Amino acid sequence: MSEASAEPTLKKSKLNRNNLPMTLIVTLIPVSVALNIVGGYIASALRLPVYLDMIGTAISAIVLGPWWGALVGVLTNTGSALISGPVSLPFALVNVVGALLWGYGVRSWKLGRTIPRFFLLNVIVAVACTIVAAPIIVLVFGGATGNAADALTGTFLAVGQNLVGSVFSSNILTSLADKIIGGFVALAIIEALPKSLTANIDIVKATPLKGILFAVAGIVIGVLIVVIFLAIQAGTPAA
């Protein structure tokens, strides 16, 4: 190494594709990660039946871009590994998939333009997250997640559904509620952000959460009926 290269050289941080300085992105990422982790605490403090631990991922994926969101996802799970042990580490993949879908969905596929489109995007995120999470839950945790959804998994197994099917069925129910509500909370937060951050994003204005909650309840009940029917169907030949 030459002596000259060891001398620090000051330079103004570059603007990236969002016209945001790099230092702003470098600080926004840890804030989003911390908000993901704190979001989980807030959800449990408010006694909500959902996790809401991917709101930071959704905001960063939509505002900064899908791959920045993916970085938030990875850092969230490595960060929580340092706080509560490595149990959450494999689920980084779920967070990354959610970030990519939210980011590309709003920025490239224009799924944020109307409320129904944004609702559809959150349903897609929920299904994709379950598709990624279910094999991890089965292979690493033998089907267990340690929360109330396991009781549902056990019920599906007792009816005759196989382990992957049971985990998928119980996970899709919690995931739908979690990602749709989380997505709309993120929408409300994005609307309240400084305009310098959100000027380039084509996204609809937030809507009151009440209507969304009714829609979520409807979808979850509908999917519950379908998965119960499928579990009974799966159990019939074995009986």
Partner 1 sequence: MSMQAALPVALIPGNSIIHRINPITKIVWVVGYIVLAFATQNIIILGVMAVFAFMLAPIAGITRPLLKGMLILVPIGSSLIALQIIAPAVEKPWTPAWELGGFVIYTDGLYYGLVLLGRIVASLIIALVMVMTTHPSDLFTSLAKLKMPYILNFMSSMTLQLIPVFQREFGIIMSAQKSRGMKGSGFAAVLPSFVPVFVGAIERVQQLAISLESRGFGSDGHKTSYRQVRARPLDWIIGVLGFVVLIGLSVISILKGLWNISALITFPGPFVAGLFFVCAAVFVGFLVLIAVFSFKK
Amino acid at residue number 183: G
Nearer to partner 1, 86 or 222 (CB): 86
Q: Which two tokens stand for residue 193?
A: 């952000």
Kindly state the smallest distance separating residue 54's Cβ from partner 1, in Å: 13
User: Which residue, chain included where needed, has tokens 């960063």?
Assistant: 60
59: Cα within 13 Å, side-chain hemisphere: 27
Using CB under 8 A as the binding rule, the residues of this chain from 166 to 195 that contact partner 1 are: 166, 181, 185, 188-189, 192-194
Based on the shown chain and the rule CB under 8 A, indicate whether residue 199 belongs to the binding site for partner 1.
no
SS3 220: helix
* Beta carbon nearer to partner 1, 151 or 202: 151
Nearest Cα to Cα of residue 73 among 138, 125, 7: 125
Residues making up the chain, counted from first to last = 239
Task: Kindly tell me which residue out of 23, 114, 200, 233 binds partner 1, with binding defined by CB under 8 A.
Answer: 23
The interface mask with partner 1, positions 209-228, x = CB under 8 A, is x---x---------------
Measured from the CB atom, the residue of 209 and 224 that comes closer to partner 1 is: 209
Distance CA(149)–CA(209), nearest Å, equals 24
Residues from 142 through 171 that contact partner 1 (CB under 8 A) = 142-148, 150-151, 153-154, 157-158, 160, 162-163, 166
CA 74 to chain centre: 12
Residue 237 in contact with partner 1, rule: CB under 8 A: no
Of 38 and 230, the one with the shorter C-beta distance to partner 1 is 38
Measured from the CB atom, is 214 or 229 closer to partner 1? 214
Please return the burial class of 179, using the count of CB atoms within 10 Å of its CB with bins 0-12, 13-18 and 19+. buried
**DSSP-derived 3-state class of residue 21:** strand
Query: What is the per-residue binding string for partner 1 in 38-77, x denoting contact by CB under 8 A?
Result: xx-xx--xxxx---x--xx--x---------------x--
